[in-house]
């Protein structure tokens, strides 16, 4: 684990953030966008090593943040392990200071029909997509309550909504999304429930989903986005995350929203990850 220092400026100057799943994709984009606004950012993922097929590592995300003058702490951690989840928070607080922002981005999806998924995979899915985010929130909430300030953001999925039907479309019937989607539905409901419980303490809790498939390097490498599917750049999710991690906790909380919708509601345009230009 390593860190760099700078003199922060911007919307999040003086704030400390944790972003899980920060080695690539949405997590890396959000970490960069928060850092561009002055936050000191801790990024966590299961390994420091390059993936055999997917682009992106924690070190590469850290390098991009450092290059634009940001401060970044790398924490290698397996989110399936409670001890590692505790270590993420403890290390961040020791190296960067009290946590103001937590972005639960890391997730695991097994696209298998629920009727046949193994118990092992079902438990892994539940652990990583729901239990780990909840555990991390519980670990940072006490400090946020003491300071009367905090932002909790859970990255979800529009698949959490129940499929319309019958009749059902091919995606709902055959793509094996029910397990992952139900985990995200539980996370959405926990977000709104915690928002109510924590409102009096100045802590915002929100759930954010992409409005379309996010065009990340990993998605391109895997070829998982059909040619005719609508897509959105990672910058849109990053800007929406920034908005939800910097808004007034008294007002912008308890929301289950999509990226495009919240940016439109706030009259806000997506910017490049360094914050310098409007897309």
Does any domain span residue 210?
A: yes
Range of the domain at 146: 16-108+130-166+184-266
Does any domain span residue 2?
A: no
φ and ψ of 278, to 5 deg: -80, 135
DSSP classification of residue 10? S
Q: What is the CATH number of the domain that holds 250?
A: 3.40.50.720
Does any domain span residue 120?
A: no
Q: What is the pTM of this model?
A: 0.92
Does any domain span residue 241?
A: yes
* pLDDT score, position 176: 95
Does any domain span residue 75?
A: yes
DSSP classification of residue 201? G
Number of domains in the chain: 1
pLDDT of 219-252, one tens digit each? 455 444 555 566 789 999 999 999 999 999 999 9
**Cis peptide leading into residue 279 (ω within 30°):** no
Does any domain span residue 30?
A: yes
Residue whose tokens read 């529009």 = 158
Does any domain span residue 158?
A: yes
pLDDT below 50 — which residues of the chain? 2-8, 219, 222-224
* pLDDT score, position 193: 98
* pLDDT score, position 227: 59
pLDDT of 201-218, one tens digit each? 999 999 999 987 665 555
**Cis peptide leading into residue 247 (ω within 30°):** no
User: Rounded distance, CA 278 to CA 270, Å?
Assistant: 6
Residues with Cβ within 8 Å of 260's Cβ and at least 6 positions away in sequence, in order, are 211, 212, 232, 236, 240
Does any domain span residue 43?
A: yes
């Amino acid at each position: 684990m390593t860190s760099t220092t700078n003199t922060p400026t911007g919307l999040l100057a003086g704030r400390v953030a944790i972003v899980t799943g920060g080695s690539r994709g949405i997590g890396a984009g959000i970490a960069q966008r928060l850092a561009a606004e002055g936050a000191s950012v801790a990024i966590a993922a299961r390994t420091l090593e390059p993936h055999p097929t997917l682009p992106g590592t924690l070190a590469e995300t850290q390098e991009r943040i450092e290059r634009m003058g940001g401060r970044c702490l790398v924490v290698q951690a397996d989110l399936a392990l409670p001890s590692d989840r505790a270590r993420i928070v403890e290390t961040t607080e020791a190296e960067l200071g009290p946590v103001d922002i937590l972005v639960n981005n890391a997730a695991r999806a097994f696209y298998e029909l629920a009727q046949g998924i193994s118990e092992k995979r079902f438990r892994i899915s539940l652990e990583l997509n729901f239990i780990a985010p909840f555990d991390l929130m519980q670990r940072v909430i006490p400090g946020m309550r003491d300071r009367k300030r905090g932002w909790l953001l859970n990255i979800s999925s529009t698949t959490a909504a129940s499929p319309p039907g019958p009749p059902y479309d091919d995606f709902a019937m055959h793509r094996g999304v029910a397990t992952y989607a139900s985990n995200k539905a539980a996370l959405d409901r926990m977000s709104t429930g915690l928002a109510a419980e924590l409102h009096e303490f100045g802590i915002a809790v929100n759930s954010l989903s992409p409005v379309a498939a996010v065009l990340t390097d990993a998605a391109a490498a895997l070829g998982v986005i059909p040619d005719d599917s609508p897509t959105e750049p990672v910058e849109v999710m990053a800007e929406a995350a920034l908005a939800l991690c910097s808004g007034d906790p008294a007002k912008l909380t308890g929301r289950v929203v999509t990226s495009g919708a919240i940016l439109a509601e706030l009259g806000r345009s997506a910017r490049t990850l360094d914050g310098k230009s409007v897309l």
